[in-house]
Amino acid sequence: MKLPNGVTGFYDSKVNKPPQVDGKQFKQLCFDFASRNSGKVINFITPQYPSNFYYAHVEIVGNQFYILLNEHYPYLAFASIVEFGNIKFINRPVPYEKFSSFYRVIGTGELNVPLNQKLLKQTELNSAELEQIAYWKPETVGWIIFNYWD
């Protein structure tokens, strides 16, 4: 997966500032998905320092999971745990269908790819992002796209 400039939320100039996704649309889609599947949204969180993603904690037929959306790019993922410094990514086929027409749904196969120098050289990440990566030492691509860096 080629990581675009600003996906981490860090940038080195106003010219390099990453785009923003529509958080209101994401929230609406999460609530719609939950209600259409006899579920509920337990909590909806907007990106707040130091995180770079929106997430909805949902419950569908007794199963709880999280729907994550990167704040800057339409990259969506699912997780069973979302805690500071600990996100456990999972695959969820039913919500995948609902969200895939709006976002690029990234599965665990891509999210859990180990980070290495070869992969970093193929990205469009800016110098501020590369500094953060050197500092935080994320182990996977998912930890770059969905992070709690300050």
Domain boundaries, the chain: 19-112+140-145
Distances, alpha carbon 53 to alpha carbons 75, 76, 87, in Å: 10, 9, 12
Bridge partners of 40? 59
Q: Look at residue 66 in the predicted model and tell me its pLDDT.
A: 97
For the chain, 150 residues long, give each residue's pLDDT as a single digit of tens: 889 999 999 998 877 789 999 999 999 999 999 999 999 999 999 999 899 999 999 999 999 999 999 999 999 999 999 998 899 999 987 777 889 999 999 999 999 999 999 999 999 999 999 999 999 999 999 999 999 998
Q: Look at residue 130 in the predicted model and tell me its pLDDT.
A: 95
Q: Look at residue 88 in the predicted model and tell me its pLDDT.
A: 97
3-state SS string for 44-91: EECCCCCCCEEEEEEEECCEEEEEEEECCCCEEEEEEEEECCEEEEEC
Q: Look at residue 92 in the predicted model and tell me its pLDDT.
A: 86
Q: Look at residue 105 in the predicted model and tell me its pLDDT.
A: 95
